Structure 1
Amino acid sequence: MDKIRFMVVSGFLGAGKTTTMIALAEYMDRNIGKTAIIANDLGANLVDTSLTQTSGCTVAEIGNDCICYQMDNTVDQIRRLRDKEGATFVMSDIPGCGVGALDHVYHTLHDDNADEFTLSPFMVMVDPERLRMIMPEHADINLPEELVYLLKLQLEEADLIVLNKIDLLDESTIDRYMGFLHEACPDIPAMKISAKDKTGIPELAEYLTTHETALKNFSVRNNQEFADAEAKLTWYNRRLYLKTKDGSKIDCNAVVDDLIEGIRMGLIERKRNVPHLKTFATSGNGDFNKASLIGVDYDTEYAQEFLRDHKNMRMIINARAVCESRPLARLMDDALDEVCDKYDLDCQVFFTECFGMADEGR
């Protein structure tokens, strides 16, 4: 049996890992071979899984912890995607500020499953706004220094660095960003893409399917700075159902926008931030809203908005916040209550989890 290619996609919160994996999978399905995606995060009920499913890509979900710490499950999922779905290339992301998959995943697969898997380059995504934190201007985007340290670690871990969202930049600015990456990480190849516009995707796919990992030694085991940085983050996941009390159709885009704005204002009031907030809402029949917020100082970005009014919608909220878990849970409830009152909505909450990396009992 031919080996299956596997790759991990790492990167900072909001760098566009899911959008990039979808763009790669769509291109590779058409031009190279069957490609599958594993959506991975620390919690359950993932926006990324729902978004990937709407694209038509083959997707599996590994939740409740990073793939780094459930390797038996990860190997089983890759085999299932190969045997049941015919995948020849599988890619998985890891939680948004995750570091360490090169050590835990790549070296484990190389040591235990080298006869089954070819390991493509360990890819780290960066977006222009977050990269500014470590560029000469040392931009202050209201994130703690510990998260700046995580970004630096992620770049150090990479086999390949990919600058995403170049559709937001002019050519001279792209050259400046790429020049910085080549100078800061001289031994690591760097490429530029726009996953949104599909720019650079064919070249990236070609590279990933013709190169392999350098399998360098990189570990954050027993790294207290890394542990302190992770402890700054709280994970929040919720799945709910909203409907109008009188059965009338309303502008559900406005509901999503007001909910995110309520969360933003609650964080600002507490002098906290959200490096990444994602929501996915659908009323079925292919109509959905996918929104993203990369900080309280930024505008909400929409990958897609509802095309028509609806009387109900199912919704998933994923947030990765620089905020303690208890106040985060309270402000999320407050924002939801305000929206329900404003639009006269009934709400059923089916699932909620909120935990900090350093919370006792986690």
Structure 2
Amino acid sequence: MIKQVKSKNMKTTRLILVGGFLGAGKTTLLWEATRRITERGKRTGLITNDQTSELVDTALLLRKDVKVAEVSGSCFCCNFNGLIDALKNVRDEANADVIVAEPVGSCTDLSATILQPLKQNLRGELTVSPLSVLADPIRLNDILNGGTAGLHPSAAYIFRKQLEESDLILIGKSDLVSPEELILLKEKVKLHFPDSEVMVVSSLSGEGIDEWLNEVLTRTDAGKRLVEVDYDVYAEGEAVLGWLNTSIELSGRETDWDTFARELMQNLSRQFDSIKASVGHVKMLIESGENYLIGNLTGRNETLSFRSSAGISSEARLTLNARVEVSPEALEEIVLKTLDTIKGTQLRKKIVALRCLSPGRPNPTFRVEQVVPIF
């Protein structure tokens, strides 16, 4: 049974769901969207989602002075009541007019398992915006050309299904390709997915974000279609990735944490490249007091990027999330051995939390078999 959100005299809240494959840049876009929505005079909140806790995304967003709830342990669709609880929590504590939610990056079939149940059961309590799916332009172009974007074929299947069920396809990271390439890519996306609208956005430059927000803050045509999903292929696409989430306290000598972080991520990237292990994403947050640095890897070594600075000190907290096409056991061994090599003997490490797994078969709480109309 669905847990009801609404209490007496509670206002209607808008939900903006932003999907997209691992490494698409969803968290950065969500924060920028939240900031701009707040500037428009609306109270906002965020919901993150992962197969386990210790999320870089949640830790980072909590630094942004915005209400964040986390649904961990399974995806939104397999823990629908967890999503409802998170919605209630954010709405009650932040008095949110708008909630932006980010499902697990390897999830698809969101229209049937999330949007339709919300429309069906929470009408009048929740206004659901069109489903937006964010895509990295490099991976997107390869997928449309018949490739796998360096992913396992079953993971590439998930990527394509995410696009197929979308109401709005957002081509992100537009700074990675030339304007001419972007025009061609946009036309190619329209040819492959004629039922979805296509927009270009960049969290770095701000391109297209206000135009996208104008759409999702006013429209109610969410989940306009359902797609056929082969759950055997879907399950394999998730299971081929080892998932690791860890938080580690580091202490000892005075350390330049920016240099430390770069060496750690570059070393990890080289190791994954050397064994030809496809990377969904590796995210790292290193925090030292009020300072922090973010590292991102979304493929081979050339995709590695960093922003901000953690400064120099004798203590820091490292949060690392990795989704890589190796066994969980191999992933854990690579990460911990690499960390020990980089930190040397003059830094101590204390593992606060560590979870490494391979996701189980998706088992949605609900799966609606037809599109629920909007009244």
Question: Is TM (by shorter chain) over 0.5?
Answer: yes
Following superposition, the deviation at residue 219 of structure 1 comes to: 5.1
Partner of 2:352: 350
Deviations 1:65-110 (A, max 9, x none): 1111222221122122222211011111111121122211111111
Equivalent of 1:304, from 299, 305, 308? 308
* Letter paired with 1:193: V
For residue 339 of structure 2, the aligned residue among 325, 329, 336 is: 336
Native 8 Å contact 2:44 2:94 kept in 1? no
Cα–Cα, structure 1 residues 313 and 220, in superposed 2: closer, same or farther, change >3 Å? farther
Equivalent pairs counted in the alignment come to 352
TM-superposed deviation, 1:140: 6.4
2:317 is aligned to 314
Which of 324, 327, 330 is equivalent to 1:327?
Answer: 330
The alpha-carbon deviation at position 157 of structure 1 amounts to 1.1
| 2:152 is the counterpart of 1:144 | yes
After TM superposition, give the deviation of residue 295 of structure 1 in Å.
1.5
Q: Which runs of 5+ in 1 are unaligned?
A: none
Deviation readout 1:189-237 (Å, 9 max, x if unpaired)? 1111101222211111111011123433425666222222222112110
2:47 equivalent to 1:15: no
Alignment of 1:157-172 (within 5 A): 157-172=165-180
1:32 Cα offset (Å): 4.5
Q: Structure 1: how far apart are the matches of 2:312 and 2:338?
A: 21
Does 1:280 pair with 2:285?
yes
- Counterpart-to-counterpart distance in 2, 1:213 and 1:332: 43
How far off is 1:159 after superposition? Answer: 0.9
In structure 2, the residue corresponding to 1:276 is in which secondary structure? strand
* Compared CA separation, residues 358 and 117, structure 1 to 2 (3 A): closer
In structure 2, distance between residues paired with 1:186 and 1:221: 19
Cα 1:220–1:347 change in 2 (3 A) is farther
Which structure 1 residue ranges, 4+ long, deviate > 4 Å from structure 2?
A: 138-141, 219-222
Per the alignment, residue 109 of structure 1 pairs with 118
Please name the residue that 2:272 is paired with: 267
Give the direction of change, closer, same or farther, for the CA distance of 1:174–1:222 in structure 2 (3 Å limit). closer
2:241 — aligned with what?
233
Take 2:277 and 2:230, find their aligned partners in 1: how far apart are those partners? 28
Is the counterpart of residue 51 in structure 1 residue 60 in structure 2?
yes
- Percent identity between matched residues is 26
Tell me the SS of whatever aligns to 2:313: coil
The one-character-per-residue Cα deviations of 1:30-67 (angstroms, maximum 9, x if unpaired) are 11411111011111110001111222232111111111
Q: TM-score with structure 1 length normalisation?
A: 0.92
Distance 1:255 1:92, change over 3 A: same
In structure 1, which of residues 249, 252, 259 is the aligned counterpart of residue 257 of structure 2? 252
Query: How many Å apart are 1:254 and its aligned residue?
Result: 1.3
2-structure distance, mates of 1:292, 1:84: 31
User: Whole-Å Cα distance in 2 between the matches of residues 21 and 272 of structure 1?
Assistant: 28
Q: Does the residue aligned with 1:172 lie in a helix, a strand or coil? A: helix
After TM superposition, the score normalised by the length of structure 2 is: 0.89
Instruction: Indicate the RMSD between aligned Cα atoms, in angstroms.
Output: 1.8
User: Which residue matches 2:371?
Assistant: none
Q: Is the 8 A contact 1:13 1:97 kept in 2?
A: yes
Provide the secondary structure at the position in 2 that maps to 1:288.
Answer: strand
- 8 Å Cα contact 1:220-1:226 kept in structure 2: no
Q: How does 1:186-265 map to 2 (within 5 A)?
A: 186-218=194-226, 223-244=231-252, 248-265=253-270
Please give the alpha-carbon distance, in whole angstroms, between the structure 2 residues aligned to 1:258 and 1:141: 26
Q: Is the 8 A contact 2:327 2:358 kept in 1?
A: yes
Secondary structure in structure 2 of the residue aligned to 1:40: strand
Could you tell me how far apart the structure 1 residues matched to 2:303 and 2:227 are? 36
Checking the alignment, whether the CA contact within 8 Å between 2:200 and 2:208 is kept in structure 1 is yes
**Other-structure match for 1:29:** 38
SS of equivalent residue, structure 2 residue 89? helix
Q: CA deviation at 1:353?
A: 0.7
Per-residue deviation, 1:302: 1.1
Structure 2 unpaired stretches of 5+:
1-9, 362-375
Tell me how far apart the structure 1 counterparts of residues 261 and 222 of structure 2 sit (CA, whole Å): 43
- Please say if 1:295 is aligned against 2:299: yes
The whole-number CA distance in structure 2 between the counterparts of 1:48 and 1:213 is 28
* One-letter amino acid matched to 1:304: S
Aligned partner of residue 163 in structure 2, secondary structure: helix
Instruction: Pick closer, same or farther for the CA change 1:36–1:281 going to 2, 3 Å.
Output: same
Match of 1:310, SS state, is strand
- 3-state SS of the aligned residue for 1:37? strand
Report the Cα offset of residue 139 of structure 1: 5.5
- Gap change, CA 1:143 and 1:149, over 3 Å in 2: same
CA shift for structure 1 position 164: 0.6
Aligned to 2:51: 42
User: 1:137-186 CA deviation, whole Å, 9 max, x = no partner?
Assistant: x5665322222211110101101111111122322111111111111111
